[in-house]
Structure 1
Amino acid sequence: MSIGGGGQRLVVIGGDAAGMSAASQARRLRGPGELEIVAFERGHFTSFSACGIPYWVGGQVPERERLIARTAEEHRARDIDLRMRTEVTEIDVAGQRVRARDLDSGTESWTSYDKLVIATGARPVRPDLPGADAPGVHGVQTLDDGQALLDTLAGTRGRRAVVVGAGYIGVEMAEALIRRGFEVTVVNRGREPMSTLDPDMGRLVHRAMEGLGITMVNDAEVTELPTGEDGRVRAVATRDAEYPADVVILGIGVRPETALARAAGLPLGAHGGLLTDLAMRVRGQEDIWAGGDCVEVLNLVSGQEQYVPLGTHANKHGQVIGTNAGGGYATFPGVVGTAVSKVCDLEIARTGLREKDARRAGLRFETVTIESTSRAGYYPGAAPMTVKMLAEARTGRLLGVQIVGREGAAKRVDIAAVALTARMTVEEMTALDLGYAPPFSPVWDPVLVAARKAASKVRSG
């Protein structure tokens, strides 16, 4: 189909980072007469920072509107027909159309497309357990979720909070609740918090969290969320114990929201995410693209498909998709798996492969762990940090880096992210010309100290 004047219609499903970045970039390249853009968003907000929600809940971000990069009205002012509170319920690939329901009125209608962008995001994992849907139990994925949690915190007399899960969301929400004056317990199924780290590095996070007054419960499988006579959650139960709770946060992670794509017969990967080519075009489709938390991406270190739901990638996907849908050309080569987080003053970072990732990829490797400081040891404020590095046996190619430390630790992972992208060896890394002054680094930066030790181990191996 085409609109008046010979133009085409681009339909976007999902109004957050990937979807609206794609719509905005396509609009920059093509005017309204050349390309009509219709976007559907089932929520109340568009183009918001989900990553900022824990900091809004914790009070560092004072108001919700600070997390909104661009409002629906601002998108519409740029000739994007953004339809809020409208959920796409079906994709008809053969007929090149989508069916959408207005969530307020209940009315349904079909919209034809020439080009389609699927940016349906992710959904929080909600355990199929008794009490999981009780009042007082919260997931944290959207601004609506954050507001509901803040309302609960404001109206809760008790001050006991239990966080289920100890990944990024879990540890960040633990900090937010500590800041709100709650007694916090984190119940974690894994051996240590932060499964994105190796267990030995996760153990450092465990100790630091306990030092902040957070009760850590590891190796614990939640079996039930018991409720009181009023129907509200009152505890988190495991096989071995019960932890009283006035509020429960589910931080178990997310899964790609691909039910629409699956029903339409589009290709999904082992992690449940959509599979795309380098141009972010859905494999086997000429005029359908997908990006953000609903897709799988290529890990440039392992060479395997991976599910990495991060806003940084979603925005890049959107730029690539919008360029291609707008008639240009762009590609997204993949990721190295970089992520940073914090809990109070503890900084946590990782990039590349963990030990189990390297084994799964069939790689032989060496590991080293070093302790250093963020600044010259004699300079005020020098804080400790631990750096773990993985290097491929024989070749010495850098495979991964994990960092746990205080102020100044986390962003050092960017050095390793660039080195991984460039496929550098640890030997080559030792000669990197990094900035040095006592307020910023020891004369040998901690990442380079780890690289020297790794290079020596590879040589001796």
Structure 2
Amino acid sequence: MTDSTERLVVIGGDAAGMSAASQARRLRGPDELEIVAFERGHFTSYSACGIPYWVAGDVDERDDLIARGPEEHRERGIDLRMRTEVTEIDVAGGRVRAREVETGAESWTSYDKLVIATGARPIRPDLPGVDAPGVHGVQTLDDGQALLDTLTRAAGRRAVVVGAGYIGVEMAEALIRRGYEVTVVNRGTEPMSTLDADMGRMVREAMEGLGIAMVGEAEVTKVLTGQDGRVRAVATEDAEYPADVVVLGIGVRPDTALARAAGLPLGAHGGLLTDRAMRVRGHENIWAGGDCVEVLDLVSGQQRHIALGTHANKHGQVIGTNVGGGYATFPGVVGTAVSKVCDLEIARTGLRERDARRVGLQFETVTIESTSRAGYYPGASPMTVKMLAERRTGRLLGVQIVGREGAAKRVDIAAVALTAGLTVEQMTSLDLGYAPPFSPVWDPVLVAARKAAAKIREPWDRAAS
């Protein structure tokens, strides 16, 4: 290291942080840029999205979820310090304070450039008993390992999942596949609040078909414990649900306590605010990415918090390019996500009905039934496509798809259309691939677009009725 060498400090060793560090290293050698990264956990560069499939047994080994371990990063010239938690950011002094988790030893490290990639934390409601042994959030590999350890030791086979978003739904399936009796307690009427309720109903029916007990419109009031202090049940105002293990699937919040304490700008959802280069607003030498930031929704024009590994890796690439002396931007998202319950595939992109209403858009909706392949071809399976389009302009606003094999990834057609700002009329002319084993002559998404385009063309007073 020479006097002219800059130091990049990275807080967080998963997707965004290590993607940024790796990309910066590709562009600038050790003589130009020293890179120091801090990770409080035991693992780096892993797939948190794969944890439910590891718990279910689809993924055999924990290490299968790790893309690159600490030693691989160190071999590439990154000073990666594991089990070391950053406890303070001194913006004025250009330094961070870190504490070694095992020893408690603390030290300051100066930086010329800083990347904040602290991720998100599972929401733990402030309820009596929520911190009892046997109650788990699932966000990191450490969380997943702790849950598996509990499942191995648990004397009974009863599980309660609190919340029915992506994590809750996926964990409910994982637990029932491990032989547990599973109850899902959900605040909403239907699971998957990322969908409209009419589409969420199909998800509930599929979960009930798996033997999962679904309890809707129920608020958890406390977690009950036994004489040994471990969880024994989850209580609502009306009932108690016995549990040997509880999984919190309520969602996540940006982990921005460090940033808040340092006076960095946060948005309405608690995430860091950045410009298109992923630079923290108002701070020339500080970047942020991954689950700790808010991003621009290209459809609504508002800031959103979306915790997805796809975004985190892209953020890291953008940050690393800019730190390394290049130029890159992250334009925003359209809110695309896919999941599954057994063989039921679930997908959404763009706005739901309530999203569109909240931002003052007038819209039309259509829902169609179709099949994944030509109806006469073996293996054709049903799917439902719901589409939202802006009234009069016909601009595509959102798509939701629920169906069997071949359904979920069709949402990518809509994601591209949303990003391009296409109207539903323009979508009907898209030159999509066709052969009977893959699609009907009219792809289900295009069938929905045709129906939406026809509805948009109706006279205003008829369409509004």
TM-score by length of 2: 0.98
* Separation of aligned partners in 1, 2:84 and 2:155: 36
Q: Which of 7, 25, 36 is matched with 2:5 structurally?
A: 7
Q: Which of 321, 324, 340 is matched with 1:323 structurally?
A: 321
* Separation of aligned partners in 2, 1:64 and 1:403: 31
Equivalent residue for 2:411?
413
* Separation of aligned partners in 2, 1:329 and 1:37: 19
* Separation of aligned partners in 2, 1:11 and 1:54: 31
* Separation of aligned partners in 1, 2:303 and 2:110: 32
Which amino acid is the alignment partner of residue 139 of structure 2?
Answer: Q
- Could you list the per-position Cα deviations for residues 44-70 of structure 1 after superposition, in whole angstroms to 9, with x for gaps in the alignment? 101111000000000000000000000
Equivalent residue for 1:140?
138
SS in 1 for 2:292: coil
Equivalent residue for 1:430?
428
Q: Which of 32, 50, 64 is matched with 2:30 structurally?
A: 32
Deviation of the 1:151 alpha carbon: 1.2
* Separation of aligned partners in 1, 2:104 and 2:241: 41
Q: Which of 115, 123, 126 is matched with 2:124 structurally?
A: 126
Deviation of the 1:410 alpha carbon: 0.3
Equivalent residue for 1:212?
210
* Separation of aligned partners in 2, 1:168 and 1:256: 17
* Separation of aligned partners in 1, 2:143 and 2:448: 41
Equivalent residue for 1:288?
286
Which amino acid is the alignment partner of residue 27 of structure 1?
Answer: R
Structure 1: runs of 5+ lacking an equivalent: none
* Separation of aligned partners in 2, 1:432 and 1:392: 19
Equivalent residue for 2:74?
76
Deviation of the 1:426 alpha carbon: 0.2
* Separation of aligned partners in 2, 1:45 and 1:151: 17
Deviation of the 1:338 alpha carbon: 0.2
SS in 1 for 2:291: coil
Instruction: Write the mapping of 1:307-318 to structure 2, written as runs, cut at 5 A.
Output: 307-318=305-316
Instruction: Write the mapping of 1:11-410 to structure 2, written as runs, cut at 5 A.
Output: 11-410=9-408
Out of 114-123 and 431-440, give the one that drifted further: 431-440
SS in 2 for 1:225: strand
SS in 2 for 1:4: coil
Which amino acid is the alignment partner of residue 360 of structure 1?
Answer: R
> Contact 1:5–1:33 at 8 Å: present in 2 too?
no
Paired-residue identity, %:
85
SS in 2 for 1:226: strand
SS in 2 for 1:411: helix
* Separation of aligned partners in 2, 1:6 and 1:270: 39
- Could you list the per-position Cα deviations for residues 166-225 of structure 1 after superposition, in whole angstroms to 9, with x for gaps in the alignment? 000000001111110111111000111000001111111111111111111010000011
* Separation of aligned partners in 1, 2:244 and 2:266: 39
Q: Where does structure 1 differ by over 2 angstroms across 4 or more consecutive aligned residues?
A: none
SS in 1 for 2:127: coil
Which amino acid is the alignment partner of residue 452 of structure 2?
Answer: A
Which amino acid is the alignment partner of residue 276 of structure 1?
Answer: T
* Separation of aligned partners in 1, 2:261 and 2:147: 32
> Contact 1:385–1:406 at 8 Å: present in 2 too?
yes
* Separation of aligned partners in 2, 1:286 and 1:345: 48
Which amino acid is the alignment partner of residue 441 of structure 1?
Answer: S
* Separation of aligned partners in 1, 2:3 and 2:234: 61
* Separation of aligned partners in 2, 1:106 and 1:79: 26
> Contact 1:323–1:329 at 8 Å: present in 2 too?
yes
SS in 1 for 2:450: helix
Q: CA RMSD in A?
A: 0.7
* Separation of aligned partners in 1, 2:280 and 2:156: 49
> Contact 1:370–1:449 at 8 Å: present in 2 too?
yes
Deviation of the 1:381 alpha carbon: 1.1
- Could you list the per-position Cα deviations for residues 340-363 of structure 1 after superposition, in whole angstroms to 9, with x for gaps in the alignment? 001111111000000111111111
Out of 151-160 and 347-356, give the one that drifted further: 151-160
SS in 2 for 1:265: coil
Which amino acid is the alignment partner of residue 351 of structure 1?
Answer: T
Out of 136-145 and 324-333, give the one that drifted further: 136-145
Deviation of the 1:153 alpha carbon: 1.0
* Separation of aligned partners in 2, 1:211 and 1:104: 46
Deviation of the 1:157 alpha carbon: 2.6
SS in 2 for 1:19: helix
> Contact 1:222–1:238 at 8 Å: present in 2 too?
yes
* Separation of aligned partners in 2, 1:153 and 1:391: 46
Deviation of the 1:4 alpha carbon: 1.3
Out of 59-68 and 146-155, give the one that drifted further: 146-155
* Separation of aligned partners in 2, 1:267 and 1:55: 36
Q: Which of 444, 447, 455 is matched with 1:457 structurally?
A: 455
* Separation of aligned partners in 1, 2:117 and 2:70: 16
Which amino acid is the alignment partner of residue 175 of structure 2?
Answer: L
* Separation of aligned partners in 2, 1:322 and 1:180: 41
Out of 130-139 and 46-55, give the one that drifted further: 130-139
- Could you list the per-position Cα deviations for residues 60-116 of structure 1 after superposition, in whole angstroms to 9, with x for gaps in the alignment? 000000000000000000010000000101111111011111111111111000000
Which amino acid is the alignment partner of residue 225 of structure 1?
Answer: V
* Separation of aligned partners in 2, 1:397 and 1:217: 37
- Could you list the per-position Cα deviations for residues 126-150 of structure 1 after superposition, in whole angstroms to 9, with x for gaps in the alignment? 1111111111111111111111111
* Separation of aligned partners in 1, 2:349 and 2:102: 43
